Homo-oligomer: A and B are copies of this chain.
Amino acid sequence: MADETAVRFGILGCANISIKLSKAIETAPNATLRAIGSRSLEKGTTFAAEHGLPEEVRIYGSYEAVVEDDEVDAVYVPLPTGLHVAWAVRAAERGKHVLLEKPVAMNVAELDRILEACEAHGVQFMDGTMWVHHPRTAKMKEALSDAQRFGQLKLIHSFMAYNPGPEFINHSIRAKPELDGLGALGDVGWYSIRAILWAVDYELPKSVLAFPGTAFNENGVIISCGSSLHWEDGRSATFHCSFLTYLAFEVTILGSKGSLHLQDLTLPFEENFGCGTFSEASEVDYGKIEPGRWCPKANEHVVETEFTQEVLMVKEFADLVRKIKRGEMKPEKAWPVESRKTQVVLDAVKESIERGYQPVQIGS
């Protein structure tokens, strides 16, 4: 339970992900759930009962009512992507801090409208990418930054995929161009792009080249695609995102002296543990690489965490909101910058696909 200075959240919509977030908000020590709005009061009431929301949570029959509630400090917006710009801007204009589910917008132009509204009204913006808040992420960054152990980063690959079946692919919200028109690229490709940018300290690639063979659903929404990304100094990354394969939430990062592998980046296999493997080159004699001698199996590292990554995300966001409310700081720019760079690359991948797999240059 939160104290009196806890940040009061409103949630827009009873999406599946709202279950996880309502629990996370209730668990975070500096946050509390004040309101949830649905398209109908009945749907909201059912959601609250089914998921055991506390009695004091206000149930509204519209998103509007949440945004207008003066006792809501911040909104979590898990609405379909096509509705983000309207509701995030609306919330910012009403002085609400905005925690926006990914993908954040249909394109950079839309995102810029959101970010401008947040800036104009002095509210914090953060997107809903949870894994960046897991403590293992900071540990991995330490390993990647260790020039002695990891050397220089050279290559990255990421697979992000799941197989929800043809009904989902053709008829769910994710399958509708006006609602989640970025399809698999927005839903899971977002994570690959974010992981790649995270690994290179958010330095934008010079160019992006999508792979031939993008798959679309009946409505023309991407259900499988991939791309390569290239930096001036020779670093390269590739990723593939898909609604057509078994679960894959993985990233491999190769440096000149070490490598890092993670198979459960976005959703840890175990809730309170994050594992990753790290290999380093110190014992390798390249002249004599033989089985059993060339390379010790990668070391598995485990990072334990008291709070799950979604609670840590809410906690971090609420901390910022609390400080801004107290006048101790301006909104933290790093979060919108990371979101925007992710969207810039995502847009470039989409453009490369639309232009028949031509390379797309990304400006600095």
Contacts and interface: CB of A to CB of B under 8 A. Distances in A.
Interface of A: 16, 20, 151, 154-155, 157, 159, 161-165, 168, 207, 209, 211-213, 215, 224, 226, 228, 230-231, 234-236, 238, 240, 242, 244-248, 250, 252, 254-259, 261, 263-264, 267-271, 279-281, 284, 286-292, 294-298, 308, 357, 359
A162 B289 contact: yes
Contact of A236 (B211, B261, B270): B211
A154 B242 contact: yes
A263 B299 CA distance: 13
**10 closest Cβ contacts across the A-B interface?**
A245-B254, A271-B291, A271-B292, A211-B228, A213-B230, A154-B245, A164-B286, A246-B259, A213-B236, A212-B230
A268 B291 contact: yes
A286 B168 contact: yes
Given A209-B211, A211-B230, A246-B280, 6 more contacts: A155-B159, A157-B159, A209-B357, A247-B279, A271-B291, A357-B359
A245 B238 contact: no
Contact of A258 (B157, B246, B264): B246
A361 B242 CA distance: 24
A155 B164 contact: no
Contact of A234 (B157, B224, B281, B284): B224
Contact of A162 (B211, B228, B250, B286): B286
A296 B268 CA distance: 11
18 contacts: A20-B290, A155-B161, A155-B240, A161-B254, A162-B289, A211-B228, A211-B238, A213-B234, A213-B236, A238-B240, A242-B254, A246-B254, A246-B255, A246-B256, A246-B258, A246-B281, A261-B263, A269-B292
Contacts of A246: 151, 254-259, 279-281
A179 to B, nearest CB: 18
Given A151-B246, A230-B211, A289-B267, A238 B164 contact: no
Contacts of A287: 16
B256 A155 contact: no
